[in-house]
Amino acid sequence: MSELFVALTPANLLACFVGTVLGTIVGVLPGLGPAGAMALVLPLTIKLGPTAGLIMLAGIYYGAMYGGSTTSILVNVPGEAASVVTTIDGYRLARKGRAGAALAIAAIASFFAGTVSVIALQVAAPLVARAALAFGPAEYFAFALLGLVLLANLTGGSRAKSLAMVLVGVMLSTVGMDPLGGTVRFTFDLAGAQGGLSFVAVTTGLFGVAEVLASMTEPAAATPVARVKFRELYPSREELRRSFPPMLRGTVLGFLVGLVPGPAATIASFVSYGIEKKVSRYRRELGTGAIEGVAGPEAANNAAAGGGMIPLLSLGLPFTPSTAVLLSGMLLMSVTPGPFLLRDHPGVFWGVIGSFYVGNVMLLLLNLPLVGVFARVATIPPRYLMPGVLVLCAVAAYSDNNNVFDVWVMIAAGIAGWAMRALDFSPAPLVLGLVLGPVLERSLLQALTIARGEIGGLWASGPAAVMLAAALGALVAPGLTALLRRTATQRA
């Protein structure tokens, strides 16, 4: 536990500061999201060593949650998907002249939820890790499979399309050496593909290059940003009082949603808004500029970011693109997250958790006074910003293996990602398929070997059977209900 204070060394404080500032900027900018930004700075963080590097990556991750709300409130443009809901009441509050109060409440709700979820993370992660020590290959296979199926269900848009992207990701993960060693697959004799497709190259392509290409077809929105004076930032006592219950509800809800695979932060913010609409005493005002519509969702998305760290830190299984980048960062620094992380690298584990506390305080201190500066970042025209992003993407992809092949992979992923967006396919499931593909394959093959070829060995244990049944249910149930509904309407 004393390792928590690892986060307080000057180098780690600096890493945390840089990470949270970068994260806030990324959150403010529409387009570039946290996963893409984290992939961009991977080469930089690797040089910092595991603890400082991961602290910086994590700072970007939750800093983006903070920054995303700023532009939602001030310019009605959500910087992140998780802040879309905040535009509804946040922007209307700004129109009413309460922009400062809305920003302050958003920051306070984020801080509160972030801190509470870190406490919960600190308690829960070691417990989950200990329980996971009993997990064999069959359980890992079932859990990863369940995660991917749930992810496809929850990503939004067409379920089949998300599932297809998961599978394409799994297929891409089979490029290179097979996980049990020996056979080199799908490389077409390209030397650069031997070690598998670079995750950094695919991620920077899908989330960086594709965004740049997509931004070119969007009309540049020149929105004037309202200036917020420092003394306008104080919410009234009434606003503070009204914010507290939604904040509390949003925190609990967000943390729980964060444990479930999928775009947890986004879902949590929407669900929180829905709950406020049902239970809040001021539910009639929601949609017209009610502070509850900011406090609840902003707490929920930050708590979800904390909850999402539990599967990563204690099982080694990421279920969001951002935690997938964190995982690949850890692996590059030869830290393997999972049940043994706490035993083998206690400094990294507690250092990162400690940095969450520090980062939350930093974000609060940064965001309140500097909110105007960050809001103005959002008004930098893309024509000056995006070309630089392209070069950073290329550097990040290249430096993964010091290989131009990875730049090719990045460009191919970028063009494919642009086409995917145009055809309503989401890139997030693909990235997670790519990351979890080897986990699936290795655990499946090992489980079969252990069971001496008996397929039943996959569901011989209780937990594995339950998870596989849940995966099957999640896969089949929505299709069945849709079918039933369709036949019912046809008959009617």
Partner 1 sequence: MSRDRWSAAGLALLAIVYLVIARRYPLDTLATPGPGVMPLIAGVALFATAISIFIVAITARPARDAGGLSETGAAPTRPIESSRALSSPLVLAAALVLYAALLPRLGFIASSFALVVLGSRLMGARGWWRPVALALGVTVAAHLLFARWLGVPLP
CA 70 from chain center: how many Å? 18
Q: Of 54 and 299, which has the nearer Cβ to partner 1?
A: 54
Query: What angle, rounded to 10 degrees, do the helices at 292-307 and 99-132 form?
Result: 30
What distances in angstroms separate CA 415 from CA 209, 373, 427, 472, one per listed residue?
Answer: 7, 33, 12, 33
Collect contacts of 408-411 with beta carbons under 8 A, ≥24 apart: 408/192, 409/192, 409/197, 409/198, 409/201, 409/202, 409/205, 410/198, 410/201, 410/202, 410/204, 410/205, 410/208, 410/209, 411/205, 411/209
Q: How far is the CB of 236 from partner 1 (least distance, A)?
A: 34
User: How many whole angstroms separate alpha carbon 337 and alpha carbon 257?
Assistant: 21
Cβ atoms of 114 and 360 closer than 8 Å:
yes
Q: Of 118 and 431, which has the nearer Cβ to partner 1?
A: 431
Determine how β-strand 176-177 pairs with β-strand 184-185: antiparallel
Q: Of 127 and 160, which has the nearer Cβ to partner 1?
A: 160
Cβ atoms of 378 and 71 closer than 8 Å:
yes
Q: Of 241 and 486, which has the nearer Cβ to partner 1?
A: 486
Q: How far is the CB of 221 from partner 1 (least distance, A)?
A: 13
**Cβ–Cβ contacts within 10 Å for residue 218, how many?**
10
Cβ atoms of 93 and 232 closer than 8 Å:
no
Cβ atoms of 206 and 413 closer than 8 Å:
yes
Q: How far is the CB of 418 from partner 1 (least distance, A)?
A: 7
What distances in angstroms separate CA 308 from CA 21, 25, 302, 355, one per listed residue?
Answer: 21, 22, 10, 16
Q: Of 252 and 474, which has the nearer Cβ to partner 1?
A: 474
Q: How far is the CB of 287 from partner 1 (least distance, A)?
A: 16
First to last CA, the chain: 64
Q: Of 2 and 489, which has the nearer Cβ to partner 1?
A: 489
Q: Of 123 and 391, which has the nearer Cβ to partner 1?
A: 391
Q: How far is the CB of 237 from partner 1 (least distance, A)?
A: 37
3-state secondary structure of 140: helix
Q: Of 218 and 344, which has the nearer Cβ to partner 1?
A: 218
Cβ atoms of 48 and 15 closer than 8 Å:
yes
User: How many whole angstroms separate alpha carbon 33 and alpha carbon 427?
Assistant: 12
Which residues, in sequence order, are CB contacts of 466 under 8 Å at separation 6+? none
Cβ atoms of 79 and 71 closer than 8 Å:
yes
The string of DSSP letters for 350-416 reads HHHHHHHHHHHHHHHHHHHHHHHHHHHHTTS-HHHHHHHHHHHHHHHHHHHHT-HHHHHHHHHHHHH
Q: How far is the CB of 420 from partner 1 (least distance, A)?
A: 9
For the chain, how are helix, strand and coil distributed in percent, rounded to 5? 80, 0, 20
Q: How far is the CB of 442 from partner 1 (least distance, A)?
A: 9
Q: How far is the CB of 171 from partner 1 (least distance, A)?
A: 5
Q: Of 191 and 391, which has the nearer Cβ to partner 1?
A: 391
User: How many whole angstroms separate alpha carbon 160 and alpha carbon 183?
Assistant: 31
Q: Of 66 and 398, which has the nearer Cβ to partner 1?
A: 398
Q: How far is the CB of 395 from partner 1 (least distance, A)?
A: 5
Q: Of 361 and 442, which has the nearer Cβ to partner 1?
A: 442
By the criterion CB under 8 A, which residues form the site for partner 1? 43-44, 47, 156-158, 160-161, 163-164, 167-168, 170-171, 174, 178, 180, 182-183, 185-186, 209, 212-218, 220, 381-384, 386-388, 390-392, 394-395, 398-399, 402, 404, 407-408, 411, 414-415, 418, 422-425, 437, 440-441, 444-445, 448-449, 452-455, 479, 486, 489
Q: How far is the CB of 243 from partner 1 (least distance, A)?
A: 28
Q: How far is the CB of 378 from partner 1 (least distance, A)?
A: 17
Q: Of 15 and 124, which has the nearer Cβ to partner 1?
A: 15
Q: How far is the CB of 419 from partner 1 (least distance, A)?
A: 9
**Cβ–Cβ contacts within 10 Å for residue 134, how many?**
10
